């Protein structure tokens, strides 16, 4: 909980859960049960708690993630589809004093943006990435994404994704963790209070490795898309727990601070 979450109401009662200062006070346009709103709140809480909001530049790509600028009270840049890591790289290199992060979905980052995310991580760019994995293209109507699970039905694979025809769903956290410039990589989930709290801890670590100059930070968040999954929000949360987490295991995949190699990351940087 951010420091901005404790205040006193006009009645004199202490309010212990309020809107983070960096989260814009406006109605959400996201569908009922969508987890983007939870992810936005976690981002805002961390920017407040770390004291970097005034020095932040957010970069969002095409997709549901692009509307980040409507909700986070920070300077922002919109990038072409999949190119957020490349844009963020340019911003960070031009203004190394800024805190720079990207906010991207799986239809963006893991598909048309695969080259950009791979090479940004491999170079060890001093940026942080928040990756929303809801196993579907959300904004464009529910098409199959690189992360769509085997058997999952979408508008472009109505009979369900087939391993022989479309290949296996891509596990991005595992890929990013093995690249030389990655300083922190983890996967969390937004399906339960327990997992949301843990996801925030992972996000903080991904942000802190940038702030400390250690390298590239990446956090994947398993999220629900009830509208395109044709499910209720409750059923969508259950699907994350029963189907997504077994295939996309939660946890830390790389942490140079914990394994004691952060010194070499700094030494090898620009």
- For residue 2, the model assigns a pLDDT of 43
CATH number of the structural domain spanning residue 131: 3.40.50.970
2 part of a folded domain: no
- The four Cα atoms 67, 221, 110, 136 give a dihedral, to 10 degrees, of -70
Within a domain: 247 = yes
| Res 195: pLDDT | 98
In the predicted structure, residue 192 carries a pLDDT above the cut 50: yes
Identify whether 16 is part of a domain: no
pTM beyond cutoff 0.85: yes
Please write the tens of the pLDDT for every residue from 225-263. Answer: 999 999 999 999 999 999 999 999 999 999 998 887 776
Q: Is 41 inside any structural domain?
A: yes
Neighbours of 190 (CB within 10 A): 24
231: in domain: yes
Q: φ and ψ at 73, to 5 degrees?
A: -85, 65
> What pLDDT shows up at residue 262?
72
Please give the span between the terminal C-alpha atoms of the chain, in angstroms, as a whole number. Answer: 35
Q: Is residue 26 part of a domain?
A: no
* pLDDT in the model for residue 9: 65
| 4 pLDDT more than 50 | no
Q: Which of 88, 127, 128, 85 is nearest to 110 (CA)?
A: 85
Mean pLDDT of 145-157: 95
Look at the chain and report how many structural domains it folds into.
Answer: 1
Q: Over the chain, what is the mean pLDDT?
A: 92
Quick one: average pLDDT of 159-171? 96
Q: What is the pLDDT of residues 44-78, one digit of tens each?
A: 999 999 999 999 999 998 888 888 989 999 999 99
Pairing of strands 182-189, 216-222: parallel
Any domain includes 23: no
Give residue 162's pLDDT: 96
**62 is a domain residue:** yes
Portion of the chain with pLDDT greater than 70, in percent: 94
Supply the pLDDT for residue 3: 44
Q: Which domain holds residue 191?
A: 31-267
Give me the numbers of helices (H) and strands (E) for the chain, helices first please: 11, 9
């Amino acid at each position: 909980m951010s420091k901005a979450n404790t205040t006193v109401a006009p009645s004199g009662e202490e309010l212990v859960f309020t809107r983070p200062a960096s989260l814009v006070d406006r109605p959400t346009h996201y569908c009922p049960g969508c987890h983007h709103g939870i992810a936005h709140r976690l981002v805002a809480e961390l920017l407040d708690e770390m004291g970097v909001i005034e020095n932040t530049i957010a970069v969002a790509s095409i997709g549901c993630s692009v509307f980040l600028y409507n909700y986070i009270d920070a300077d922002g840049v919109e990038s072409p589809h999949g190119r957020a890591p490349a844009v963020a790289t340019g911003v960070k290199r031009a203004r190394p004093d800024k805190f720079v992060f990207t906010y991207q979905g799986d239809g963006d980052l893991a598909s048309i943006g695969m080259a950009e995310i791979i090479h940004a991580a491999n170079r060890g760019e001093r940026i942080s990435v928040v990756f929303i994995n809801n196993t579907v293209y959300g904004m464009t109507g529910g098409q199959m994404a690189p992360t769509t699970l085997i058997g999952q039905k979408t508008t472009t694979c109505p009979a369900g994704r087939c391993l022989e025809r479309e290949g296996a769903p891509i596990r991005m956290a595992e890929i990013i963790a093995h690249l030389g410039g990655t300083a922190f990589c983890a996967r969390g989930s937004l399906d339960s209070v327990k997992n949301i709290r843990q996801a925030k801890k992972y996000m903080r670590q991904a942000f802190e490795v940038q702030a400390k100059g250690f390298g590239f930070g990446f956090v994947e968040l398993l999220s629900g898309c009830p509208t395109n999954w044709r499910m209720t929000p409750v059923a969508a949360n259950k699907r994350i727990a029963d189907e997504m987490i077994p295939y996309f295991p939660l946890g830390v995949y790389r942490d140079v601070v914990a394994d004691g190699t952060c010194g070499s990351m700094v030494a090898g940087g620009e």
